[in-house]
């Protein structure tokens, strides 16, 4: 019987899994480059979440290379973004796209749920956080102009009531997770104090988020995406955070993962898309992190153990398992799953010191 990996060995193994998804320009693919699912592309949001593992590991050269290339993507498409700072987009293609060729940084133009405000929100949030913690990703004045343009862009599209495709790239709705991501980013840059941030945009975002919570959207009472409001954004108070977690665990937590939402049809085993939703692995790591942040170390450890149980025999973490099975889908490893597990290993071992 193989000797169990130590904490240090396990972290290294899953960081190495992430390294295998890294492209020469520093972006992460969502999964390995031989999948038939399209997950060989680079998503803005996934890159922000995938880089978290290296931030926790203190590998700032990896983090910097990723964010510098993300800034290069925005700069490459700055004319389009700049247009949307003064004109309200009315077609999906006029918004910032969600996924790119990891080498050429070109947009993928096929039909997709590309209108994703939270992807802009998380990058703004992390860039501001890096400024505050002494790890600035800003190389020059151009990077600062690019960030300011992103702030003007997301304000001009009126993110607080502009329906988007959300974290799961599906139907356009007003999503609490998208509002919260942008609100967190704007607040964080206001804290930095070096960018022009419209206070009215913050106030409107806060009011919209307060009115929608604890729901994710008009059609979704609870949703895995809501955990982002606790981590990484810390944009809700402890009472609301507890309510979000309680609702999610009651309705969506399963043995091999967490449902994204009820009646999710993606990899649903039931032919009518009903009641056999796929179980997303990174949801277990995410719950471990959130419980640790809420001060419940016992439940944090329980969900970390459940996350560990999703690791395949070759030490990879899938995107998901089919409902009530040990059958993962093709997107194995999923970079987002690998990264959230590494973060959970660090968080649960060493409790967070700030709320």
The tens digit of pLDDT for each residue in 122-144 reads 999 999 999 999 999 999 999 99
Residue 23 has pLDDT above 70, yes or no: yes
Residue 292 has pLDDT above 70, yes or no: yes
Comparing 31 with 112, the larger pLDDT belongs to 31
Confidence of residue 112 (pLDDT cuts 50, 70, 90): confident
Confidence of residue 271 (pLDDT cuts 50, 70, 90): confident
Interatomic CA distance for residues 60 and 183, integer angstroms: 26
Interatomic CA distance for residues 240 and 220, integer angstroms: 17
Q: Supply the pLDDT for residue 274.
A: 83
Residue 355 has pLDDT above 70, yes or no: no
| Contacting residues for 217 by C-beta, under 8 A, at least 6 apart | 166, 173, 174, 175, 176, 223
Give 203-257 pLDDT, tens digit per residue.
999 999 999 999 999 999 999 999 999 999 999 999 999 999 999 999 999 999 9
Q: Are 67 and 74 in contact (CB under 8 A)?
A: no
End-to-end alpha carbon distance in the chain = 41
Residue 194 has pLDDT above 50, yes or no: yes
Where, residue-wise, is CATH 1.50.10.10 in the chain?
1-22+221-355
CATH fold of 1-22+221-355 reads Glycosyltransferase (1.50.10)
Residue 311 has pLDDT above 60, yes or no: yes
Residue 47 has pLDDT above 60, yes or no: yes
Confidence of residue 285 (pLDDT cuts 50, 70, 90): very high
Percent of the chain surpassing pLDDT 70: 97
Mean pLDDT of 47-60: 98
| Contacting residues for 9 by C-beta, under 8 A, at least 6 apart | none
Q: Are 139 and 198 in contact (CB under 8 A)?
A: no
Confidence of residue 113 (pLDDT cuts 50, 70, 90): confident
CB atoms within 10 A of CB 327: 13
């Amino acid at each position: 019987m193989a000797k169990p990996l130590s904490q240090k060995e396990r972290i290294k193994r899953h960081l190495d899994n992430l390294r295998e998804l890294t492209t020469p320009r520093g972006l992460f693919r969502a999964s390995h480059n031989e999948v038939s699912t399209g997950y060989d592309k680079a998503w803005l949001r996934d890159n922000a979440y995938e880089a978290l593992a290296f931030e926790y590991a203190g590998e700032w050269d990896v983090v910097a290379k990723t964010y510098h290339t993300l800034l290069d993507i925005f700069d490459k498409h700055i004319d389009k973004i700049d247009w949307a700072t003064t004109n309200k987009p009315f077609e999906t293609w006029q918004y910032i796209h969600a996924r790119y060729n990891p080498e050429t940084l070109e947009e993928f133009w096929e039909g997709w749920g590309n209108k994703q405000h939270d992807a802009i929100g998380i990058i703004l949030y992390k860039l501001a956080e890096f400024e505050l913690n002494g790890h600035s990703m800003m190389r020059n004045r151009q990077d600062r102009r690019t960030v300011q343009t992103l702030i003007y862009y997301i304000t001009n599209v009126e993110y607080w009531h502009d329906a988007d495709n959300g974290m799961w790239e599906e139907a356009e709705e007003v999503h609490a997770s998208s509002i919260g991501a942008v609100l967190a980013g704007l607040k964080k840059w206001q804290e930095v104090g070096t960018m022009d941030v419209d206070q009215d945009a913050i106030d409107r975002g806060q009011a919209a988020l307060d009115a929608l919570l604890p729901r994710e959207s008009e059609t979704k009472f609870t949703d895995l995406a809501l955990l982002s409001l606790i981590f990484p954004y810390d944009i809700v108070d402890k009472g609301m955070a507890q309510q979000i977690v309680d609702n999610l665990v009651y309705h969506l937590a399963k043995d091999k993962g967490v449902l994204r939402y009820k009646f999710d049809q993606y990899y649903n085993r039931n032919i009518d898309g009903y009641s056999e939703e796929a179980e997303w692995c990174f949801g277990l790591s995410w719950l471990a992190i959130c419980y640790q942040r809420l001060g419940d170390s016992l439940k944090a450890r329980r969900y970390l153990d459940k996350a560990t149980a999703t690791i395949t025999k070759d030490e990879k973490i899938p995107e998901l398992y089919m409902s009530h099975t040990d059958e993962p889908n093709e997107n194995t490893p999923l970079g987002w799953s690998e990264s959230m597990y590494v973060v959970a290993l660090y968080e649960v071992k060493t409790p967070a010191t700030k709320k």
